[in-house]
Chain A
Amino acid sequence: MDILYIVVNILVFLALAPFFEGVVRRVTARVVQSRQGPPLAQPYWDILKLLGKQNLSPGNLAFKIAPVVALASILSVIMFLPLGYRENALSQYADVITLIYLLTLGGVACLLGAISSKNAYALVGSSREMITMIMVEPVLAMTLILGAVKVKSLAIPASVLSVTGAGYGASVIIMLVVYLMALQAFVGRQPFDIAEAEVEILEGPFIEYSGPNLALFKYYMLLKQMFYAALFVIVFIPAIKTGFYGLDVLIQLGFVLLVYVLIAVLGSTHPRLRIDQAQKIYAVLIVASLVAVGLSVYGI
């Protein structure tokens, strides 16, 4: 059974990540921008279309393997996620530090691909991406550590599931707000889509990618987005355990949908910030997340 949970994780994420992206586009169009918007299935078609296009490459190895590494690392992260509140066969082999490492590996793969393309826009984009990674990573780490402090264990299911275990204390509420504010940066949307900023640096790190390679990166971005949305639901929404695994997963996915709607509304009601302005906001978020962990040590 334990293996089944891993398979379900992977399948659910692979199958639904493009759909949720379609929801974001639809909500942005219909609710905020008075447009019809594309069909919900559009992100699937986008990826399919890219898979059938020509793969252009400057010819170095790093450029070619970067998308594969990125996709592999995010899939590995997803395997550890206790979706439906179940531990799986892999849980005992890793802890939250592994999770953070694997997430960072995906980001590093993006940077690697960008830098190896030697494009001026990609370089600007990757330097911005690097700043974003360095400055929002602590928020993610602190969220996981908050749970770890509570159960005094770094094991994935224990620390992830125990944040709200003792109800909503001050530390949890601070962390929840900080996570929500950092969410747009995690998923690379306005006001924090600075690394890709289409009108300045034309999708930055991904500018030289095309065809299947770009499709892999797109899939990576979609999965990453869903991971952060699901992590929010698992960590901050108190467990509604029905006892049936399938139902638990469905309820969680319902909440994920709500998080996506939030992402869409936030993204479409803000302009993009400049990297220097964003840094100041990130700095506040880091301090606030540290305060939350500090408070949790004293059980507040």
Chain B
Amino acid sequence: MSSNKKGQSTKIKRRENLTGYAFASPWLLGFLVFTLYPMCSSLYYSFTNYNTMKAPKWVGLRNYIIIFTSDPLFWKSLWNTIYYAVLSVPLGIAAGVLIALLLNQKVKGMRFFRTIFYLPTVVSSVAVSLLWMWILEPNFGLLNNFLKNFGIIGPGWLTDPAWSKNSLILMSLWTVGGGMLIYLAALQDVPESLYEAATIDGAGAFTKFFKITLPMITPTLFYNLITGIIGGLQVFSQAFIMTNGGPSYSTYFYGYHLYNKAFTEYQMGYASALAWILLVMTLGLSLIVFKTSNKWVYYEGK
């Protein structure tokens, strides 16, 4: 009796499993064909010399050796990318939190402002880049024209190597709306009672922010930091459209180097090796952030 019952229940379980897989199959198929397969083949190509037209030729670790020992552009682009990420990620987080704090006030027309701040995130990065080319244009661009009113002669934002990276970082703040929305949700989750208690204890606005708000939204900060690092290391399209990596390699990012190797020099093997190095670096950084997270991320109910 009991064994029969058991058999029936596993049967049901099996069928349920099958149904589950059937429902997930469109995603599974997409994952296998469009993610797993390309990833595996790029790992294979990274050990070959492959120019897309001839069959790939196995070269062992040589791509990796060249990258680390005799490709000055690898180091240059890596430095540019790290510079970009180190500045743009914290700035983006700070700006996002700041705007979220402002939008968390109970003011009229808040929904309107929320939409406005989120809008740039929806616009394609190509369109945004073209728009910013006009803003940052040194002669008749909006920004320099505005500065002229104060007697400041603005720099060649994108044409001066000392400014170009910073200009792109400044531009990246344009899309903080995406992060802002998540912070806003987190801010609204902070229990009102905590603030009330703090007010009774005589805490000021700053104390409340640093002792209550900030700790309470650390899980969100943590999430945005991870996605920010990943996105920051992949920066590409702005430089591709606005500066072509120049002037004199100042905006030549890692993604740009990879793109150049793959699609202008047709060294797919080399480019695949670059991609895997980036993957390992991203994983490493994410792991470090994860490891430190228990020191600063506060989860409610723990």
Answer yes or no: do A and B interact: no
Residues of B within 8 A of A (CB): none
Residues of A within 8 A of B (CB): none
